[in-house]
Structure 1
Amino acid sequence: MRVDLPGGTFRMGSDDHYPEEAPTHQVRVGAFAIDAHQVTNAEFAEFVEATGYVTVAERPLDPADYPDAPADNLVPGSMVFVPTRGPVDLRHLSQWWRWKPGACWKHPNGPKSDIDKRLDHPVVHVAHEDAAAYAAWAGAALPTEAEWEYAARGGLDGAPYTWGDEARPGGRIMANTWDGPDFPWRSTGESGFQRTAPVGSFPANGFGLHDMAGNVWEWTDDWWTSRHPDDAASPCCAPENPRGGDLEASYDPAQPQFRVGRKVVKGGSHLCADSYCLRYRPAARRPQMIDTGMSHVGFRCVRRPEGTDDD
């Protein structure tokens, strides 16, 4: 199911939260249609069945690309969230992320898991290449960051959340995020879900779009930048259908040995805890290496009118 959006001008970014979200600036996007929910395991399975596509997480690794790695490590797999046994130093996320051989979209928690009872959950462990391949097969594309944020705001220009100004209006849980303050070791389970939830389990935003906050992060097609351009905040005009940075600028300066591009992911996930990662907001943004899928990253697609620049 798709929702047609007319496009328009909105305030993108935030000056009140994380530095990479600044500065707040006016942006204009054209009309487009967007999926009402994240692409599900069932939908991705149809794509694989029709095309024989093999995701990045399922492909054998070339030893030539990893000359110093032990041969036993060169097996297909992906990154899976594993709760810790107690409180940990939140500066070191390697404590709750594990590389699991055999983890992929069909086996989200490792080779012994499956999706038989998760067909209506968002597909995960998809690298950017995988998401883009699905979108092309579906006659669609991945959204730009500006399109995604416009859609997530649901017509509430400048509101911190997709549903308004309060994280829990009237005490109501509005998204699949981490329950309680004890990330990453103990969730209260208040939302009813410990990991992903079936798409559409929580209220839609003002545009009728589900899970634009929480559940899984979503790929966009824009290269990562450490913040929005400073000149974007100029009051004279609103950039129209802006795009992100470039490949070279998206590399992680903390890991110069890995020249892997990073794209923007949006929306937060079921691992967003107020005490650690308050990023289940439209303005929130994070970099994700394009060759790396994880157990909390998925996507949805957009369709633009024929003849537009990004079509």
Structure 2
Amino acid sequence: MASIKRRRQLLWTAGVALCALLAAGLALTWYSPSSEAPAEPVLIIGDGVSTPDDMAWVPPGIFQMGSDSKLAQANERPAHAVKLNGFWIDVAHVTNDEFTQFVEQTGYVTTAEKKPDWETIRVQLPPGIPAPPDDVLVPGAMVFVGTNGPVDLNDYSQWWRYVPGANWRHPQGPGSSIEGKGDHPVVQVSYEDAMAYAAWRGKRLPTEAEWEYAARGGLEQATYVWGDELMPDGKPMANYWDSKQGTFPVVSPKAGGAEGTLPARTFPPNGYGLYDMTGNAWQWVADWYGADYFGKQAAAKTPIADPQGPAQAYDPWEPGVPVDAPKRVIRGGSFLCNESYCLSYRPSARRGSDPYSPMSHVGFRLVKDAPAPAVKVVTRATDIP
């Protein structure tokens, strides 16, 4: 029984917001099945002339959101019918080069580059926690640092640190750089940063339902975005932690482990032409996170139309964090996800994260509300292998 409880705790704590750890780090420096099957996906990539550039069209339809798979965690259950309007979505993550252009043209300063605001930290902590000295509230962000050997997976503070000076330009801290990584997903961006970029581009973050519908690429209830086999023909299909190369979270040279993000479009796209919908970097979506939201949605007798998420966050599963602490949904998993810990490189996997806490494995992509394409297929040969 103890081992079952331990496993349950591991599954729920993996990859969730590390807001409590952020504060601690600062202080130490002091639904039912649908009978309507999705249509066969048609690849439509915008050309930047009559359709949005480098965005894929996801047609309207009904799909099964969530999962009843044996791999699914409680917050992914049960699968339930959702009906969506069509939309355009970025073919790939927003990259370092794209975010650089945004900053250069607007002068925007990201959350990680500003002095932390105690009020946004305090709401993630138990009542009564005193504010840390003002001089330890320095700009920085959460960084995955790994360990030198196997550790108790109940304590994620052993492989995450709040690192002063870490930000989108320096994802692992002051000694790191994005030089030569312009085509990698931008990380160390908060929900607020993603919203600012979206406004600049005239786009928006996808809803959680839109994200999952797009991620599935027309494959109804497949385990992964490419099908049910993890490595078809023995080939990896996403950037995640390969447990055969090392035990999570060990990153010593001998043990191998995570190497970080890879360039966007490294692996084949899904049925809609979308790259890296799982793996590489988690992706912010618009909804508040509700651990019990899918259960509530499944109570509906008809497909839910364009769900926007719960009215406020609810997560009773993260120890030391108030159940109603602000959290937005992140989707897709990252280079840190692995078989032994979070297994979140699946389209139904979901977590909640503090909207003000940038991290070294969280990025985003955007959607655009624009007319449906007038022609059946518009593609750019350079986009699809």
Normalising by structure 1, we get a TM-score of: 0.91
Are the equivalent residues in 2 in contact too, given 1:251–1:260 (CA < 8 A)? Answer: no
Aligned partners of 2:86, 2:118: CA distance in 1, in Å?
46
* Residues in 2 aligned to 1:234 and 1:214: alpha-carbon distance in whole angstroms: 31
Deviations 1:17-74 (A, max 9, x none): 1100011001111110000000000000111111111011101235687753134421
CA distance in 2, matches of 1:210, 1:158: 19
What does residue 309 of structure 1 align with? none
1:2 pairs with 2:55:
yes
Q: Which has the larger radius of gyration?
A: 2
Equivalent position of 2:106 in the other structure:
51
2:84 paired with 1:29 = yes
Match of 1:150 among 210, 213, 228: 213
Letter in 1 for 2:152: D
Q: Structure 1 residues 231, 111: CA separation in 2 closer, same or farther (over 3 Å shift)?
A: closer
On the 8 A contact 2:314/2:325 being kept in 1, the answer is no
Residue 145 of structure 1, CA deviation = 0.3
Alignment match of 2:266 (pick from 201, 204, 220): 201
Shift of 1:279: 0.7
Offset, 1:203: 1.0
SS of alignment partner, residue 15 of structure 1: coil
Give 2:354's match in structure 1, choosing from 248, 271, 289: 289
| Cα RMSD after superposing both structures | 2.5
Cα–Cα, structure 1 residues 248 and 266, in superposed 2: closer, same or farther, change >3 Å?
closer
Q: Does 1:267 align with 2:332?
A: yes
Amino acid in structure 2 at the alignment position of 1:126: V
- Of stretches 209-218 and 221-230 in structure 1, the one that deviates more from structure 2 is 221-230
1:83 CA displacement:
1.5
Equivalent residue, structure 2, for 1:74: 137
Q: Which residue of 1 aligns with 2:309?
A: 244
Residues 32-41 or 254-263, more deviating: 254-263
* CA shift digits 1:197-238 (9 cap, x unpaired): 000011111111000010000000000011334353357310
User: SS of the residue aligned with 1:20?
Assistant: helix
Counterpart CA distance in 2 for 1:170 and 1:192 is 23
Compare 27-36 and 297-306 and name the one that shifted more. Answer: 297-306
Contact 1:220–1:263 under 8 Å retained in 2: yes
Kept after mapping to 1: 8 A contact 2:278/2:345: yes
CA–CA separation in structure 1 for the residues paired with 2:194 and 2:178: 18
Rate the CA distance shift 1:172–1:201 in 2: closer, same or farther, 3 A. Answer: same
Structure-1 residue corresponding to 2:363: 298
CA distance in structure 2 between the partners assigned to 1:131 and 1:104 by the alignment: 14
Correspondence for 2:197 among 134, 149, 157 = 134
Find the aligned partners of 1:30 and 1:268 in 2 and give their Cα distance: 25
Say if 2:70 is the partner of 1:18.
Answer: no
State the alpha-carbon separation in 2 of the partners of residues 64 and 228 from structure 1: 27
- Residues 288 and 313, structure 2, Cα contact 8 Å, conserved in 1: no
My pick for the range that moved more, 250-259 or 49-58, is: 250-259
Deviation, 1:6, is 1.0
Match status 1:280 vs 2:345: yes
| Pairs within 5 Å for 1:161-172 | 161-172=224-235
Q: Residues 21 and 248 from structure 1, CA distance in 2 versus in 1: closer, same or farther, beyond 3 angstroms?
A: closer
Query: Is 1:85 matched up with 2:138?
Result: no
How much has 1:250 moved relative to structure 2? 5.8
Indicate if the aligned counterparts of 1:223 and 1:247 stay in contact, CA closer than 8 A: yes
Question: 2:139, 2:165 within 8 Å by CA — same for their partners in 1?
Answer: yes
Query: Unaligned 5+ residue runs, structure 1?
Result: 307-311
Distance 2:274 2:81 in 1: 22
SS in 1 for 2:304: coil
1:247 aligns to what SS in structure 2? Answer: coil
Q: Which shifted more, 30-39 or 106-115?
A: 106-115
Give TM-score scaled by structure 2 length.
Answer: 0.74
Matches of 1:143 and 1:178, distance apart in 2: 26
Q: How many pairs align?
A: 306
